[in-house]
């Protein structure tokens, strides 16, 4: 945005799009175990016709970037995000042989409560070209979308280690088992329950509510909550 | 980059630009003390004529995003970056009353060795509309560039705390005093020398070279180096 930014002939600048990597925790088809899932959209046109791609499209002339990301999320899953953050702008010349497009990509988390009704309920009904996939078992993706998903997975998993991002997957209150299940599903590995409990109790981010999970158990487990709302974006941009 | 990305009429999509926040450590004019500096370019056209702005401009039709950022750095400072990372895409409708522009912003560090000849040598000679400013004493900036600089400062300072980013400011070998001076300049506060030495020695990132700084001192200080090259980008994108 300097003097020269308006000096070029129209069409010389690459086109601009916004795409979103959406994560949710859903039961795996075969095992029923909770696993990280991503909704993808099947392409019905060339290039890459028939392949799956991230939900996205052009930025509206009067639309903010994050609003475009929210719109794709709503259009694809009929849900609102519990967490939304800009991931990266992908603009390599080599990402498509067709028209050059720079994609500004967001990543979003959808909470268990939102997605509790199951995969089917969390998609726009009746569209066979929209489907949830296990994040660790994806089909071939169009364009450089595999690179984008791998980067989003890396960002999510890195952030799980030092931030309260797990709070965007659990509800407002949760048991330690539920919280551990979130960590296990995102990290893709089992965690020792006793170690996990010690780690959580050593931090002061998670506190007991004084209530217990109601249900069938003889000794119902304690419910916990985060001691403050999730800081959706700790940077100065998040505070503005 | 989905089916609909090519469906809009030309001109409906906002224009695209690349800008770069460039950091270097230079002596302050008054005190001579090392401080964080940023080069800015004075606008010679409306809007915001006469105000200072980040170096930037449109993305070339055949130019990768990071190459555009490098080009602005070279055009503005005649230097190459020792660190370059994408910061964020700024695209709010409210950022300019004129034509809407989405700016993909990079941030860059220029090392002491590169900038050693001083501020004057680190700029394209003879252009009065390009100038280094103390990062904590900036003039009024055009557009939302103040927000962008604040965010870049936050990113740099946050990254100083957990990564080896200071290595991009020092040369290949350095004394602990020089390394501490980098941390002090970036963080904008004095650090206790004994505490700093303990902190550095407790990590294994910095190791003695076995050599000493040659000069006039009776007891020349030890030279250190990082035990491996700076990981410019630890994400999967950096490895590709």
Q: For A62-102, how does the pLDDT look when each residue is reduced to its tens digit (9 = 90+)?
A: 899 999 999 988 888 888 888 899 999 999 988 877 788 99
In A133-172, the residues whose Cβ lies within 8 Å of chain B are 142-143, 145, 147, 150-151, 154-155
User: Which residues neighbour A98 within 8 Å (Cβ) at sequence distance 6 or greater?
Assistant: A46, A47, B6
> Which of A188-192, A202-206, A220-224, B102-106 holds the top average pLDDT?
B102-106
**pLDDT band at residue A114, thresholds of 50, 70 and 90?**
low
B4: in domain: no
Cα gap A222→A211, rounded to integer Å:
6
User: Alpha carbon of A156 to those of A97, A179, A215, B100: distances in Å?
Assistant: 30, 16, 32, 31
Alpha-carbon dihedral sign for residues A226, A232, A235, A240:
negative
A43: in domain: yes
Lowest average pLDDT, out of A123-127, A208-212, B86-90, goes to A123-127
**pLDDT band at residue B232, thresholds of 50, 70 and 90?**
low
In B26-65, the residues whose Cβ lies within 8 Å of chain A are 41, 43-45, 53-59, 61-65
In this model, does residue B212 exceed pLDDT 50?
yes
**pLDDT band at residue A6, thresholds of 50, 70 and 90?**
very low
Strand partners, B18: B57, B104
DSSP track, A138-192: ---BSTTHHHHHHHHHHHHHHHHHHSSGGGGTS-SSB-HHHHHHHHHHHHTS---
A4: in domain: no
Alpha-carbon dihedral sign for residues B149, B152, B156, B162:
positive
pLDDT of residue A170: 85
In this model, does residue B240 exceed pLDDT 50?
no
- Cis preceding linkage at A72, omega within 30: no
**pLDDT band at residue A126, thresholds of 50, 70 and 90?**
low
Taking residues B142-158, what's their average pLDDT?
Answer: 94
Tokens of B160: 């100083």
pLDDT of residue B106: 96
Nearest CA in chain B to A85: B88
A144: in domain: yes
Give residue-wise pLDDT tens across range A145-176: 999 999 999 999 988 877 788 888 888 889 99
Nearest CA in chain A to B57: A5
Which among A198, A197, A180 has a CA at the least distance from the CA of A189? A180
Nearest CA in chain A to B93: A64
Taking residues B79-89, what's their average pLDDT?
Answer: 90
Strand partners, B15: B101
Cα angle for residues A227, A229, A234 (degrees, 5° grid): 115
Which of A63, A92, A150 lies at the smallest CB-CB distance from B64? A92
A3: in domain: no
User: Across chain A, what does the average pLDDT equal?
Assistant: 84
Strand partners, B46: none
Could you tell me if A146 and A133 are in contact, meaning their C-beta atoms sit under 8 angstroms apart?
A: no
In B78-117, the residues whose Cβ lies within 8 Å of chain A are 86, 88-89, 91-93, 95-96, 98-104
In this model, does residue B195 exceed pLDDT 90?
yes
pLDDT of residue B2: 43
Domain range spanning residue A73? 14-239
Cα gap A178→A174, rounded to integer Å:
6
Taking residues B54-81, what's their average pLDDT?
Answer: 90
Distance (Å) from the alpha carbon of A59 to chain B's nearest alpha carbon: 6
Query: DSSP class of residue B168?
Result: G
User: Across chain B, what does the average pLDDT equal?
Assistant: 84
Tokens of A178: 């539920």
CATH number at residue A164: 3.90.79.10
B1: in domain: no
A21: in domain: yes
Start-to-end CA span in chain B (Å): 21
B148: in domain: yes
pLDDT of residue B234: 60
Counting the structural domains of chain A, the total is 1
In this model, does residue B117 exceed pLDDT 70?
no
Please indicate if any CB of chain A lies within 8 Å of the CB of B10: yes
């Amino acid at each position: 945005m300097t003097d020269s930014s308006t000096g070029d002939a129209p069409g010389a600048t690459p086109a601009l799009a916004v795409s979103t990597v959406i994560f949710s925790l859903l039961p795996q088809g075969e095992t029923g175990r909770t696993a990280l899932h991503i909704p993808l959209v099947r392409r019905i046109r060339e290039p890459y016709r028939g392949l799956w791609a991230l939900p996205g499209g052009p930025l509206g002339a009067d639309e903010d970037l994050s609003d475009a990301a929210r719109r794709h999320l709503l259009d694809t899953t009929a849900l609102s995000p519990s967490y939304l953050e800009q991931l990266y702008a992908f603009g390599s010349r080599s990402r498509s042989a067709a028209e050059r497009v720079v994609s500004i990509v967001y990543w979003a988390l959808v909470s268990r409560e939102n997605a509790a009704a199951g995969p089917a309920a969390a998609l726009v009904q009746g569209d066979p070209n929209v489907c949830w996939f296990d994040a660790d078992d994806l089909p071939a993706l169009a364009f450089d979308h595999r690179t984008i998903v791998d980067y989003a997975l890396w960002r999510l998993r890195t952030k799980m280690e030092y931030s309260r991002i797990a709070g965007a997957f659990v509800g407002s209150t949760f048991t330690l088992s539920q919280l551990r299940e979130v960590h296990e599903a995102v990290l893709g590995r089992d965690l020792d329950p006793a170690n996990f409990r010690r780690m959580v109790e050593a931090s002061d981010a998670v506190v007991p509510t004084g209530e217990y999970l109601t249900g069938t158990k003889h000794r119902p487990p304690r419910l916990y909550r985060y001691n403050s709302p999730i800081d959706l974006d700790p940077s100065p941009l998040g505070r503005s």
